[in-house]
């Protein structure tokens, strides 16, 4: 991610994001390495042990790119899947020098492997499209034209505008139906990350309001003995809400767990609006009830965490784990870096996020058999990864679509806890 994040925040990508997110059918803009970069990266790392793979790749890829030989497509796909699913786990010490070597010799590898056109950056911009939203109109001034014709005009105009801004990288369009935030099941004491948590109240009119999410992780206040906090997502919660564990919607044995002490500012806006304010943080800090014990910085079924991983330290394809109240423990992989992401929120609103990370399965075809990798109710779950031989906190789940899950980086959540809540990193892992 150390090369990908600066590209995502470059002026070229920022301009594309600004224009694309004004369109109601655009749900997000992500960046990723070109698949050729990833494969070349692997082959460089493996060249001392798998020379036959390099020779095979050079032959197949050169033919495929230059002539588009259909009869070699299956061979190429097999080679790609064998090496990229998953990518080798490269620690901080090996990933960055490897990428630096590839960056220095990018022109050489383009010529050697026949990648057209030579000189393009090894990045791509992915624009998430959802055409299933009924809450927007194409052109109110058009009369007498069919919906298909109106859509085609809008789509052509959008593609032309985006391509006019395209410089030296590829732009890909992906269908992403079902993008929405994950709304948030036995009694646990001591508490641990990954549990069901929420509330159910009846207002003065007799209407019942309920919400559940995943208790992501637990922190200890080193300045106040035996004072513990839980961290989850903010959407649906307000300061002062009294929460229970498990959530009342999940169990009749719910017991008081604590009170929401602070929530970040989330900025929902109507589904009929083309664009709205950006939500930069979606986190809530809960002060636990003194009667509840806690296993600080431990996630159920995964283990204790001892540090925050900076967002750029992990490589694309790195294996991740999280424990959500609906998904239990799940292994996923680091996918796109998502510069802008629009998620449905409730029945009539949406949220626009900035700088999220994508959580993907190694084989997306498993979604058809096992369901989506992240499920509704997993919001707030902490995403962890192996980093320099230890488990580190890498992100917090905020939502999903029908293909993948999405999380905010742990680094950004930790910054919010320190700057807005006054918790230093010593509060996370002890003195």
The closest alpha carbon to 281, from 416, 423, 422, belongs to: 416
Does the pLDDT value for residue 363 go beyond 80?
no
Q: What pLDDT shows up at residue 56? A: 60
- Residue 406: pLDDT band (50, 70, 90) is very high
> Mean pLDDT for the chain?
76
Strands 228-232 and 382-387: unpaired
Which residues are within 8 A (CB) of 42 and not within 5 positions of it... i.e. 6 or more apart? 83, 84, 87, 88
Q: Check residue 88 and give its pLDDT.
A: 43
Phi, psi for 275 (deg, rounded to 5): -155, 165
Query: What does the pLDDT read at residue 155?
Result: 74
Give DSSP secondary structure letters for 272-309: TSS---EE----EEEEEPTT--EEEEEETTTEE---BP
Q: How many residues does the chain have?
A: 431
Higher-confidence residue: 427 or 236? 236
- Look at residue 95 in the predicted model and tell me its pLDDT: 52
Question: Can you tell me the distance from the alpha carbon of 19 to that of 160, in angstroms, rounded to the nearest whole number?
Answer: 12
pLDDT for the residue numbered 231: 93
The position carrying tokens 């990018």 is 106
More confident residue, 333 or 144: 333
Task: Kindly tell me if the per-residue pLDDT of 181 is higher than 60.
Answer: yes
Angle CA(297)–CA(303)–CA(309) in degrees, nearest 5?
60
Predicted confidence at residue 150, as pLDDT, reads 67
Per-residue confidence (pLDDT) for residue 173, from 0 to 100: 83
Contact 409/308 with Cβ under 8 angstroms? no
pLDDT digits (tens, 9 = 90+) for 281-337: 999 999 998 888 888 888 888 888 888 998 888 778 888 999 888 887 788 999 889
Domain ranges of the chain: 35-121, 181-429
pLDDT in the model for residue 208 = 74
Token duo for residue 275: 């664009």
Domain 181-429, CATH: 2.40.10.120
- Highest mean pLDDT of the ranges 50-54, 56-60, 305-309: 305-309
- Residue 139: per-residue pLDDT: 46
| CB half-sphere exposure, 45, CA atoms < 13 A | 21
Q: Half-sphere exposure of residue 54, counting CA atoms within 13 Å on the CB side? A: 14
SS3 261: strand
Whether the pLDDT of residue 277 is over 80: the answer is yes
- Cα distance between residue 385 and residue 381, in whole Å: 13
Range in 103-112, 230-239, 349-358 with the lowest mean pLDDT: 103-112
């Amino acid at each position: 991610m150390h090369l990908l994040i600066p590209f995502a925040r470059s002026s070229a990508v920022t301009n594309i994001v600004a224009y694309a997110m004004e369109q109601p059918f655009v749900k997000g803009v992500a960046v990723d390495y070109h698949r050729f970069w990833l494969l070349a990266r692997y082959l460089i790392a493996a060249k001392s042990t798998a020379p036959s793979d390099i020779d095979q790749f050079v032959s197949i890829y050169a033919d495929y790119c230059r002539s588009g030989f259909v009869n070699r497509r299956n061979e190429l796909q097999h080679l790609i899947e064998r090496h990229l699913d998953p990518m080798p786990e490269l620690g901080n010490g090996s990933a960055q020098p490897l990428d630096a070597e590839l960056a220095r010799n990018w022109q050489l590898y383009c010529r050697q492997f026949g990648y057209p056109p030579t000189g393009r950056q090894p990045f791509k911009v992915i624009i998430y499209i959802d055409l299933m939203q009924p809450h927007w109109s194409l052109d109110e001034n058009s009369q007498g034209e069919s919906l298909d014709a109106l859509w085609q005009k809008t789509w052509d105009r959008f593609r032309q505008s985006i391509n006019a801004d395209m410089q030296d990288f590829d732009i890909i369009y992906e269908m992403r139906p079902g993008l929405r935030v994950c709304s948030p099941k036995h009694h646990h004491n001591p508490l641990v990350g990954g549990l069901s948590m929420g509330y159910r109240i009846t207002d003065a009119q007799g209407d019942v309001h309920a919400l559940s999410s995943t208790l992501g992780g637990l922190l200890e206040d080193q300045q106040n003995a035996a004072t513990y906090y839980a961290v989850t997502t903010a959407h649906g919660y307000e300061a002062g809400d009294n929460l229970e564990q498990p959530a009342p919607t999940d169990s009749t044995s719910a017991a008081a767990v604590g009170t929401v002490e602070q929530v970040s500012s989330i900025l929902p806006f109507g589904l009929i609006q083309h664009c709205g304010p950006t939500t930069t943080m979606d986190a809530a800090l809960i002060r636990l009830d003194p009667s509840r014990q806690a296993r600080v910085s431990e996630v159920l079924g995964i283990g204790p965490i001892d540090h925050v991983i900076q967002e750029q330290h992990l490589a694309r394809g790195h294996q991740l784990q999280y424990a959500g109240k609906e998904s239990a423990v799940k292994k996923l992989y680091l996918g796109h870096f998502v510069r802008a992401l629009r998620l449905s929120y409730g029945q009539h609103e949406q949220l626009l996020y900035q700088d999220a990370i994508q959580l993907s399965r190694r084989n997306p075809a498993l979604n058809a058999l096992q369901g989506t990798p992240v499920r509704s109710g997993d919001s707030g779950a902490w995403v962890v990864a192996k980093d320099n031989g230890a488990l580190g906190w890498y992100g917090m789940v905020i939502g999903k679509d029908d293909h993948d899950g999405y999380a905010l980086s742990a680094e950004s959540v930790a910054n919010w806890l320190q700057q807005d809540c006054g918790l230093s990193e010593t509060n996370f892992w002890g003195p």
